[in-house]
Amino acid sequence: MTVRLLLDEHYSDVIAVALRERGHNVMSVVADVGLRSASDAELFRWAADAGRRIVTENIKDFRPLLMAAMGSAEPVASLLLVPPRRFPRRSGGRTNAIVVALAAWLEKAGAQDRPAEDWLV
């Protein structure tokens, strides 16, 4: 089973394209007109329904959504949380570093069995 990712709005579609070129199923919020204006809660529900893991550094907003969904009968969107200090926005090689890290995470044995809250390190 392949892990399907959804890159949150602060990630360029260039990352999704590079990962798709490597054979991974990745889409980005910025490339989807319908998702660009969605709230975090709407995006979480959409990803849960679509079976996509959200890649985000917006930990303070998405983690509570995950905790609430896990404590209810609502569908759960898994998260791949990205520590902002690990991939600083002002870094010139940020995009490539994220592509490399996500590819490694996706290609790791058992990626589909990772916990609903996982971290990209």
Dump pLDDT digits (tens) for 72-88: 988 999 999 999 888 87
pLDDT band at 91 (very low <50, low <70, confident <90, very high): low
Short-list 73, 74, 97, CA closest to 85:
97
Read off the amino acid at residue 89. Answer: R
| Sign of torsion over alpha carbons 111, 116, 120, 121 | negative
Three-state DSSP at 28 gives strand
Pick the CATH number of 4-119 from 2.20.28, 1.10.357, 3.40.50, 2.60.40: 3.40.50
Residue 80 bridge partners (DSSP): 55, 118
Residue 113 phi, psi (nearest 5): -100, 5
Q: Where are the domains of the chain?
A: 4-119
Across the range 94-99, mean pLDDT stands at: 92
pLDDT at 85: 87
* Interval 32-78: pLDDT, tens: 999 999 999 999 999 999 999 999 999 999 999 999 999 998 899 99
Q: Are 80 and 54 in contact (CB under 8 A)?
A: yes
